[in-house]
Amino acid sequence: MVGWDSYKPAMALFGLQMTYAGLALFARAALLKGMSPHVFVVYRQAIATLVIAPVAYLVRRAKPGGGCSIGLRSFSLIFLAALIGVAINQNIYFLGIYLASSSMASASSNLIPAITFAMAAIMGLEKVHLRRLRHIVKILGTVICVGGAISMALLKGPKLLNTEFIMHKSSVSLLGGENWLLGCLFLLGSACCWSTWLILQVPVSASYPDHLSLSAWLCFLSTLQSAAIGIFLEPNPQEWIFSSYLELACCAYAGIIGSGIAFFLQAWCVSQRGPLFPAMFSPLCTVLVTFFATIFLHEEIFVGSLAGAIAVIVGLYVVLWGKAKDLEDIKREIDQSDQTTTVQVLIDDSTKTTACICKSELEEPLLGDKLTT
């Protein structure tokens, strides 16, 4: 019977997607209130650093030997991961939400599994053998999952719930505005950055396995990088002042949960199951956003959205089945390797014993002492 430890990464990633769903709703509300996306990213990462850095420091001091030390290679990898996966990614993502729409942001985030799978396959982190069933299943599951998530945002059809809801004029203007295409390009770039961040977690976690301290470094370096970007793009001091409690609450939620806790869970899950496994949970955010928006914001639900949600769940479980088969094969190979090593050790020991016996017999004189006169 499989223990609960095998389900911990999946449970952590499901909770993480619920966190991202809440962040999408809060961030959209704050941006529509007039908060700058670049200022939002800086405050988010600064709050995350203030929360997670003291915890990482205390835990590190409590460890025997003070934990692992950071070298030049580890620092370079963490700096690159913070720049691509946090500073650049979050700036263009929230800018894309503002210029395009929340539906397009939700749809574009579901390109992450496909982009991550392609990058991991090219770099050799994911094995792809078209003659094996489970690898074909992973490819088909990824296509179904991404296609279902995109259809949730783009396909409508007949209405199911909240048929009397009227879309706000601000959403219509943002959806069809002249900056809509630019916003879509920003969102596509954000998906590429996040996939690159997931790939980078493999060498980063191998070089610096302390995930809590790693999260603190990511938050700290991304704060400095985002501040440099924000000061350059938003030189007006008035843009850096909170105008409502909603903006402050949104930054606190995004910093503590969306960055501090999320980075730790992402790094841990990548070290446990590889970069593709966390990426496959990204489409669940679209399902959760649709669900919570329907309940709390009274948004409409269409047949196309429901069909897309079902496709997301089916594709997700198909890919997870393929990953489970991969883990079974890896475990089987490890067991066979251990058995081979044990047999080799026994053979070596037996050979050494025989050699010692032969050597002792050869070293013994042919004529014993009894024959000596």
pLDDT at 67: 61
Mean pLDDT rounded to a whole number for the chain = 74
Q: Three-class SS string for the chain?
A: CCCHHHHHHHHHHHHHHHHHHHHHHHHHHHHHCCCCHHHHHHHHHHHHHHHHHHHHHHHHHHCHHHCCCCCHHHHHHHHHHHHHHHHHHHHHHHHHHHHCCHHHHHHHHCCHHHHHHHHHHHHCCCCCCCCCHHHHHHHHHHHHHHHHHHHHHHCCCCEEECCCCCCCHHHHHHHCCCCHHHHHHHHHHHHHHHHHHHHHHHHHHHHCCCHHHHHHHHHHHHHHHHHHHHHHHCCCHHHHCCCCHHHHHHHHHHHHHHHHHHHHHHHHHHHHHCCHHHHCCCHHHHHHHHHHHHHHCCCCEEHHHHHHHHHHHHHHHHHHHHHHHHHHHHHHHHHHHHHHHHHHHHHHHHHHHHHHHHHHHHHCCCCCHHHCC
The mean per-residue pLDDT over the stretch 11-29 comes to 81
pLDDT at 350: 52
Position 7 confidence tier, pLDDT thresholds 50, 70, 90: confident
pLDDT at 369: 40
How do the domains of the chain map onto residue ranges? Answer: 9-322
pLDDT digits (tens, 9 = 90+) for 294-309: 776 565 666 776 777 6
Considering 68-77, 103-112, 358-367, the range whose residues carry the highest mean pLDDT is: 68-77
Residue 145 clears pLDDT 90, i.e. is over it: no
Position 166 confidence tier, pLDDT thresholds 50, 70, 90: very low
267/367: higher pLDDT = 267
Residue 315 clears pLDDT 70, i.e. is over it: yes
pLDDT at 84: 93
Least confident of 18-27, 60-69, 77-86, 264-273: 60-69
pTM: 0.68
pLDDT at 165: 40
